Structure 1
Amino acid sequence: MFFCFYYTCGGFFRQPALWAFGKACAHLNPQKIAVLTDSCADISPALARERDIFVLPLKIIYPDKEYSDGVDITPQEIYQRMPQALPTTSLPDGGTLLSLLDEIKSQGFEKVIAICLSAGLSGTYNMVRLMAENYEGLQCAVFDSNSGSLGEGCLALEVTNRLAQGASWEELLLLVPRLRENTQVMFSLDTLEYLQKGGRIGKISCIAGTMLQIKPIISFAPDGQLASISKVRGRYRSMDEMAERIRAMVPTDGTPYTLATAHGGCPGDLEYLKNKLHDEIGCATHYYEGEIDCTLGVHTGPHLIGCGIQILE
């Protein structure tokens, strides 16, 4: 879940809110365009309300009960039940999506930009696309983020930034694919145990990696699937390498950019990573930080740490 901070190279400042809460927000958006995303975008409820972002929760399923990601279960509750209880994840509920679309229409919006979890990881994008594009009374454009967590969230948040600046529907349709190409995120895993349990790596690889304290750094491949981009021995070395990779992507010609960080139950590691990126965060146009969602946490286990950059235009 993202929280929003504003910086300049001279330090921290709070920007007055550009968005109101609730139905009045539609009146501040003359384009009458709503933004829809799913719970894997890791946008906090408070920030979603501030930006008038509608969030569709994925499903977390235990043998005895089904939950909605971020609604009636938190990542911390999932981590506390690990490793004895390991849930599965599933697509959002179709009825919930229809209810969200009904709510969007009832608030006076006429169009929807939807940013969804990578189709390489989930069927959420295809489900939303099929249902939203056939929903009467709203014009919907549904985008595959080719990402999740930091990447997906930054896309949705930047769309709201541009809406506040007066961007038109046509401009947003051209903007989202460009932003998607200019967004890079990466994560460091603390353990290989949950990837092994989910069948994503073999047991022997898991045991060897654990014994050697291997901390894989993963990112999203062009097809939207997770892929290893580096393997580092030691937790702090993995965070150091992520910071170096992000630092190398920061524009040197003054082009504006957004930085984001997120953690899965390891706020101390988040502070370490932020300190490594102190100067880059200080000069970012926007900086978002937050917590990893339940869905990603199920597959990676606790203590996931991530960072990302989005080059703006």
Structure 2
Amino acid sequence: MEIADFRHNPEKIALLTDSCADLNEKHRKNKPIFVVPLKIRGGQREFSDGVDIFAEDIYRFQEQGEVLYTSLPDWECVKKTLDCIAQMGFEKVIAVHLSSGLSGTYNLVRLYAQERKDLDMQVFDSLSGSLGIGSMLLQAWEDIRGGMSWDELTKHRIPFLIENTCPFFSIDTLEYLQKGGRIGKITALAGTMLNIKPLIGFSEDGQLISVAKVRGRKAVQPKLIELLQIKQVENKRYNIAIANGGAPKEMAELAKKIRDEFPEAKHFWEGEMDATLSTYIGSGVLGACIQFLD
């Protein structure tokens, strides 16, 4: 087991999340970000999100009419991940997990953290998902590299990022949310036949909530940009993140438009939706997020 490089991390802080953070290997490269995968079941098989099943596989199963179910990371996987973190020389862990309004992952890790005596752990409910969580972890690493202390991070910075990270994403169909029982506070639109596309965000308690609706896919990108503009505050520093689920060409178009509209972004991150989230929202998804830094 390699020892981590602590030149920019003197307090030996690791970051832990789950596969719903949508942080692939490229995002995590040279960063102490560790991921525990959620589980996905289809037929007689069980998969680990981001390990042996990916969003593209989910879309294929859905096209074939396969019914999929998700479940929490297993206890042993959490243990092994934290064992690895400790063996690499880390002494402290900041864990940020999928919204408790959607999953029990946060509570699972929180309970397990209480049993660890070799690691100082602080576990946070992101009240978010996908590119929202990913943005929090990427910014937290920037803050660690910038010299922010453990106390500042855990008492102030992470809670601030949770409160000030605002993701939105479009859904091409509500079919899978309804089937999976994750419809939450989203109104089941009777206008699906009229090509109505809902745009989704997160409520204060971390449940999915409908924030807007448009007619047709062409209206999705302008509405996402409008939602970011509404959130934007003058003289506030911010990051931008975008993601897609089975819509890479449209995301490329959206990326150009958002870069032009938000040229002052400190960071601009791009990603792809995870398999777990794709189980409930299907393909054809676009997401955009603004995160305030002060």
TM-score bucket of the superposed structures, by smaller chain: over 0.9
Alignment counterpart, residue 228 of structure 1, candidates 210, 213, 221: 210
Q: Match of 2:13?
A: 33
Q: Write the distance in 2 (CA, Å) between the matches of 1:239 and 1:96.
A: 38
Q: Write the distance in 1 (CA, Å) between the matches of 2:18 and 2:88.
A: 19
**How is 1:22-171 mapped onto 2 (pairs within 5 angstroms)?**
23-83=3-63, 84-171=65-152
Deviation digits for residues 72-121 of structure 1 (CA, Å, limit 9, x no counterpart) = 11110111121311310000011000001101110111110000000000
Does the 8 A contact of 2:4 with 2:89 survive in 1? no
Q: Write the distance in 2 (CA, Å) between the matches of 1:56 and 1:117.
A: 11
Q: Helix, strand or coil: the match of 1:37? A: strand
Q: Helix, strand or coil: the match of 1:25? A: coil
Which sections of structure 1, spanning at least 5 residues, go unmatched?
1-21
Q: Match of 2:250?
A: 269
Task: Give the CA RMSD over aligned residues.
Answer: 1.7
Alpha-carbon offset, residue 271 of structure 1: 1.8
- The two structures have a TM-score, normalised by structure 2, of 0.93
Q: Write the distance in 2 (CA, Å) between the matches of 1:64 and 1:115.
A: 31
1:238 matched to 2:242? The reply is no
Task: Give me the identity figure in percent.
Answer: 48
Alpha-carbon offset, residue 245 of structure 1: 1.3
Alpha-carbon offset, residue 132 of structure 1: 1.4
Does the 8 A contact of 2:13 with 2:92 survive in 1? yes
Alpha-carbon offset, residue 241 of structure 1: 0.8
Q: Helix, strand or coil: the match of 2:59? A: helix
Alignment counterpart, residue 283 of structure 1, candidates 236, 251, 264: 264
Does the 8 A contact of 1:60 with 1:87 survive in 2? yes
Alpha-carbon offset, residue 191 of structure 1: 1.5
Question: Counterpart of 1:97 in structure 2: which amino acid?
Answer: V
Q: Write the distance in 2 (CA, Å) between the matches of 1:145 and 1:187.
A: 17
Which sections of structure 2, spanning at least 5 residues, go unmatched?
none
Does the 8 A contact of 2:238 with 2:265 survive in 1? yes
Does the 8 A contact of 1:247 with 1:277 survive in 2? no
Does the 8 A contact of 1:116 with 1:124 survive in 2? yes
Deviation digits for residues 43-84 of structure 1 (CA, Å, limit 9, x no counterpart) = 112322321200010001112211110011111011112131
Q: Write the distance in 1 (CA, Å) between the matches of 2:116 and 2:77.
A: 14
Does the 8 A contact of 1:48 with 1:55 survive in 2? no
Count of residue correspondences: 289
Q: Write the distance in 1 (CA, Å) between the matches of 2:250 and 2:67.
A: 24
Deviation digits for residues 268-309 of structure 1 (CA, Å, limit 9, x no counterpart) = 111222233122443210111100000100001111111000
Q: Match of 1:216?
A: 198
- The two structures have a TM-score, normalised by structure 1, of 0.88
* Greater displacement, 100-109 / 230-239: 230-239
Alpha-carbon offset, residue 252 of structure 1: 2.1
Alpha-carbon offset, residue 27 of structure 1: 4.8
Alpha-carbon offset, residue 224 of structure 1: 0.2
Alpha-carbon offset, residue 161 of structure 1: 0.6
Q: Helix, strand or coil: the match of 2:243? A: strand
Does the 8 A contact of 2:40 with 2:69 survive in 1? yes
Alpha-carbon offset, residue 200 of structure 1: 4.8
1:184 matched to 2:191? The reply is no
Alignment CA distance shift 1:200-1:130 (3 Å): closer
Q: Match of 2:277?
A: 296
Q: Helix, strand or coil: the match of 1:155? A: helix
Alignment CA distance shift 1:188-1:218 (3 Å): same
